[in-house]
Amino acid sequence: MLRILIVEDEQAISNLIAVNLEKAGYSCDCVYDGIAAADALDHTPYDLVLLDVMLPGADGYELMRYIAPLEIPVIFLTAKSSVTDRVRGLRLGADDYLTKPFEIIELLARVETVLRRYHKTEQILTEGDLVIDTASRTVKKNGVQVNLTKKEYELLLLFVRNKNIALYRETIYERIWGGEYMGDSRTVDLHVQRMRRKVGWEDRIVTVYKVGYRLEG
């Protein structure tokens, strides 16, 4: 299980991040100031750090200098939208940044992308009775290959990587089809329904009233 350190002094934000990352299958530790962060980094080999900029103790920039030699990927969390702050973080070696407030699906996507860049994502994903090989893009159910179209495969992966999170139809549309959602939910509904039928997950991918769909696990 991949381990993520969350360095964020606003407890509500920290909790929100931790709960959702844990739902998505990551193991998380939360610290609330710069000193505790340095201490945690000394004792645990983390796979990723989510780092708030404004912190008591040592701020995110100082911590970044501490983390850099450890070669752990870092995503900056910043309340500031100023370009200088983002550039400063990236220049110090951060891999990405998120400007607060952010949506959970955006956080999960950034985490996933950064971990993939460091080859830290698992190539084989096992979820329930399915085994997904992300290298060959094949799916097996109880050892038997399930034939999915490209879009169905991408949809399945989106659900698996956002387990227990309600995904809006427009989010699904934008992520899988690209481009702006024009309010026609037929495309999303048809593909989700066919995909879940093919993998036999009619009872696991549920319809969320007025929202879209959620993979329950």
Q: Is the four-CA dihedral 83, 162, 172, 199 of positive or negative sign?
A: positive
Which residue intervals of the chain are DSSP H helices?
11-23, 34-43, 60-67, 83-91, 104-117, 150-161, 169-176, 186-199
Site for Ca ion in 36-65 (CB under 5 A): 52, 54
Q: CB–CB of 134/115 below 8 Å?
A: no
Structure token pair of residue 4:
């993520």
Q: Closest approach of Cβ 44 to Ca ion, in Å? A: 22
Q: Which of 2, 3, 9, 22 binds Ca ion (CB under 5 A)?
A: 9
Structure token pair of residue 179:
């481009």
Closer residue to Ca ion in complex, CB, 12/144: 12
Q: CB–CB of 32/14 below 8 Å?
A: yes
Only one of the segments 2-10, 109-117, 121-129, 174-182 lies at the binding site for Ca ion (rule: CB under 5 A); that segment is 2-10
Only one of the segments 9-17, 36-44, 113-121, 165-173 lies at the binding site for Ca ion (rule: CB under 5 A); that segment is 9-17
The residue count for the chain = 217
- State the Cα–Cα distance between residues 124 and 137, nearest whole angstrom: 10
Only one of the segments 3-11, 89-97, 183-191, 197-205 lies at the binding site for Ca ion (rule: CB under 5 A); that segment is 3-11
Q: Closest approach of Cβ 8 to Ca ion, in Å? A: 6
Q: Closest approach of Cβ 56 to Ca ion, in Å? A: 8
- State the Cα–Cα distance between residues 48 and 113, nearest whole angstrom: 11
Closer residue to Ca ion in complex, CB, 9/22: 9
Q: Closest approach of Cβ 10 to Ca ion, in Å? A: 6
Only one of the segments 1-9, 14-22, 38-46, 90-98 lies at the binding site for Ca ion (rule: CB under 5 A); that segment is 1-9
- State the Cα–Cα distance between residues 37 and 67, nearest whole angstrom: 10
The reply on whether position 85 binds Ca ion by CB under 5 A is no
- State the Cα–Cα distance between residues 119 and 130, nearest whole angstrom: 22
Closer residue to Ca ion in complex, CB, 47/52: 52
Q: Closest approach of Cβ 51 to Ca ion, in Å? A: 10
Q: Closest approach of Cβ 9 to Ca ion, in Å? A: 5
Contacts to Ca ion by CB under 5 A: 9, 52, 54
